[in-house]
Amino acid sequence: MYQRKFKREHKEEKKHSNEQNPKDGSNVKSREAQKKKTRKSYYQREKEKEAARQGSTWLENAVNKISEKMSDVMAAFANYVRDNPKIVLGILLVILIIVLLSAMLGSCAMVLPGTTDSSLAATYTAYDEDIHGVETDYRKLEKDLRKKIESTKELYPDFDEYEYELDEIGHNSYELITYLTVKYDDFKRKDMNQIVQKLFEKQYKLTYTKKSEKRTRTVEKTGIRWVFDDTNPDGGYYEPYLYEEEEEYTVKILKVKLDNRSLGRVIEEMGLTAKQKSHYDLLLLTKGNKEYLFADIYSDLEDPEDYHVPGEALSDAQFAVMIAEAEKYLRRAYVWGGSNPTTGFDCSGYVCWVLNHCGYHVGRTTAQGLRSRCAYVPVSEAKPGDLIFFQKTYDTTGASHVGIYVGDGMMIHCGNPICYTSINTKYWKQHFLCYGRIM
């Protein structure tokens, strides 16, 4: 078959060659070479076709075998599922859990950076001492305001009457610190004086209004009248008598009015951007992740001007010398590790300084070190000049804070700033340790 087909194609090729080159019959070698090439090409094509046919047959056979195997596998798997449904369900659940955990871990990898940022955004960034300092400054302004109102009659003595219309004085400490954090981030107390003053002036408005009123009143007057008396040579006599009369008079009145617009309302009007407002709301909700700030040592401050040691306590000469030295440093800010007026004081540094300058020799030691130098004193026997110790005001063993007891439920100590403070507040009662007397 191949031979007949080759001859037929060869004749057609020869005819076509002669038509193209009618004058080229003399080149015998060239025609022979062409015949060989044509014959080779033909056989090559036939081989390729046969190989393709064989490859196609092999692939079909392989697919058929795989299909048969898969059918057998699927049938076996179906039988296994039917016979062992619980085991298969368990395997599927394990696979599902693995997939879910993988998805969650992938999500966490994306969310964690944002979570860290959110945690930072919900935290006050200023140092605690600066936060307490600013709060103390604001409270000082409020106390001064209260004193001014209480001194109205001394400041304005030329009035007959005084009328008072007063809102309560006070503010939300967290609103103050939250606003300062949003606006000034890691703020410093010394830089906030004017800002605090501005907020205070916007929150409180104290006004004095002078006015006069015309009033009438009934007054008792004395008159003279003639009394007839036949026994009197003059026929009578004059005598005084009392009578009442309505009279008009003018009253000078000073009206004292205090408006507290609330610090929260003031802050709302301070023009926070939408982003700042969102940050403000978050910080206020979390309390800057520092809920302890205004429920501790600094929340119970007493202004030095508001308290004076009772005179009877000062009859003790030693105690009088101690208080005279201690009061020299009132309002000084707390400085961690400070031990003298130049560097500043911390609680133990302050007490050591006072003791060393009024006849004792305790050197420089900690609150626990001072406690070891004292004899224990029962609460019922504590007297002015004894030391008072507290525990767990921060993470340390033994005494963590010390002050000088001045009697009447008060102490002088280095809070922030150095001040008189009541020891009967909730905070100090919770942390009370003992009294001690220097030996």
- What CATH code is carried by the domain that includes residue 359? 3.90.1720.10
**145 and 285 housed in the same domain:** yes
Task: Answer yes or no: is 63 within a domain.
Answer: no
Task: Answer yes or no: is 230 within a domain.
Answer: yes
**165 and 276 housed in the same domain:** yes
- Rounded Cα distance between 301 and 414, Å, is 10
**Number of domains into which the chain is organized:** 2
pLDDT of residue 435: 97
Q: What percent of the chain has pLDDT over 70?
A: 71
pLDDT of residue 7: 46
Task: Answer yes or no: is 342 within a domain.
Answer: yes
Query: Which residues form the domain of 333?
Result: 297-438
**198 and 311 housed in the same domain:** no
310: number of Cβ within 10 Å: 13
Look at 262 and 299; give whichever has higher pLDDT. Answer: 262
pLDDT of residue 13: 47
**276 and 230 housed in the same domain:** yes
pLDDT of residue 26: 45
Helix (H) / strand (E) containing 228? strand 204-228
Task: Answer yes or no: is 31 within a domain.
Answer: no
Task: Answer yes or no: is 371 within a domain.
Answer: yes
| Domain end (from 289, 311, 344) | 289
**Cβ neighbours of residue 367 closer than 8 Å, sequence gap 6 or more:** 347, 348, 351, 389, 390, 398, 399, 400, 401, 402
Helix (H) / strand (E) containing 420? strand 418-422
State both tokens at 213.
């009123």
Average pLDDT over residues 353-367: 91
Closest to 418 (Cα-Cα) out of 402, 399, 432: 402
**270 and 418 housed in the same domain:** no
pLDDT in tens, 153-168: 999 999 999 988 887 7
Average pLDDT over residues 321-348: 87
pLDDT of residue 30: 52
- Rounded Cα distance between 146 and 260, Å, is 12
Is pLDDT above 60 for 397? yes
- Rounded Cα distance between 432 and 393, Å, is 10
Q: How confident is the model at residue 25 (pLDDT cuts 50, 70, 90)?
A: very low
Average pLDDT over residues 198-219: 93
The number of residues in the chain equals 439
**318 and 267 housed in the same domain:** no
Task: Answer yes or no: is 268 within a domain.
Answer: yes
**313 and 207 housed in the same domain:** no
| Domain end (from 289, 321, 342) | 289
**141 and 277 housed in the same domain:** yes
pLDDT of residue 24: 45
Look at 393 and 125; give whichever has higher pLDDT. Answer: 125
pLDDT in tens, 30-87: 555 555 554 445 445 555 555 555 555 555 565 555 555 555 545 555 565 566 665 6
Q: In the 8-state DSSP scheme, what is residue 298?
A: G
Task: Answer yes or no: is 50 within a domain.
Answer: no
**273 and 319 housed in the same domain:** no
CB 386 within 8 A of CB 412: no
**283 and 134 housed in the same domain:** yes
**284 and 143 housed in the same domain:** yes
CB 247 within 8 A of CB 217: yes
Task: Answer yes or no: is 234 within a domain.
Answer: yes
| Domain end (from 289, 306, 335) | 289
Alpha-carbon dihedral angle through residues 66, 67, 69, 70, given to the nearest 10 degrees? 110
pLDDT of residue 118: 54
- Mean predicted lDDT score pLDDT of the chain: 79
**301 and 281 housed in the same domain:** no
Q: How confident is the model at residue 104 (pLDDT cuts 50, 70, 90)?
A: low
**Cβ neighbours of residue 192 closer than 8 Å, sequence gap 6 or more:** 134, 137, 180, 184
Alpha-carbon dihedral angle through residues 146, 150, 153, 156, given to the nearest 10 degrees? -10
